[in-house]
Amino acid sequence: MNEALTSEFMFSTEPLPMVVVAFRLVAAMVLGGLIGFERHLHNKPAGMRTHMMIALAACVFTLVAFGMITTDWGADVARVKFDPLRLIASVTSGVAFLAAGTIINARGHVHGLTTGAGMWLAGALGLACGAGQIPLAALATVMALIVLWVLRRFENDIPDPPDDGR
């Protein structure tokens, strides 16, 4: 019995080496943090820590799912069914719920949509990092920063449409 309890507390990163797991977790935090840093610079409701936590959580969910897929379930294998798309849908739904909390409709003006979208992207970055798609996550981060930084310059130069009272 003591051996069984001890084995429950042993940290196993099967099927991946610990260094790969750590690299994926750090990559998720860094990439999520870059999006959050931009939001923080503009005093938005969700900043670095929030985006890092979302990316980290999504990465952990992905790594746990990979571990479950490769687990030997013995006689129970017929009852165990895994669908990796459910993981993506669940993380997406959970992050969308959090992101919705940053969106405010005040006096007919909506605020927080871009921050909510950034949080949603942080979840996608975490999923990608957990799945070992770090180059994809890095490219998406660069593209998002271009959208957030470069397009902000153009957006400020575009005059607002006239208010038609709706």
Query: Which of 91-95, 127-131, 161-165 has the highest average model confidence (pLDDT)?
Result: 127-131
**Confidence (pLDDT) at 141:** 98
Q: What is the mean pLDDT of residues 88-102?
A: 86
The confidence band for 142, taking pLDDT boundaries of 50, 70 and 90, is very high
The confidence band for 158, taking pLDDT boundaries of 50, 70 and 90, is confident
Q: What is the mean pLDDT of residues 82-106?
A: 82
Cα–Cα distance for residue pair 129/81, rounded to 1 Å? 23
Q: Bridge-partner residues for 111, per DSSP?
A: 104
**Confidence (pLDDT) at 34:** 97
Look-up: residue for tokens 């309890």?
Answer: 5
**Confidence (pLDDT) at 138:** 98
Question: 3-59: per-residue pLDDT in tens?
Answer: 777 766 666 667 788 999 999 999 999 999 999 999 999 888 788 999 999 999 999
**Confidence (pLDDT) at 24:** 97
Cα–Cα distance for residue pair 145/142, rounded to 1 Å? 5
Write the CA distances from 36 to 29, 73, 136, integer angstroms: 10, 39, 18
**Confidence (pLDDT) at 9:** 67
**Confidence (pLDDT) at 37:** 95
Task: Give yes or no for residue 107 having a pLDDT over 80.
Answer: no
124, 72, 66: which is closest to 95 by C-alpha?
A: 124
CA torsion angle 42 138 91 9 (round to 10): -110
**Confidence (pLDDT) at 135:** 98
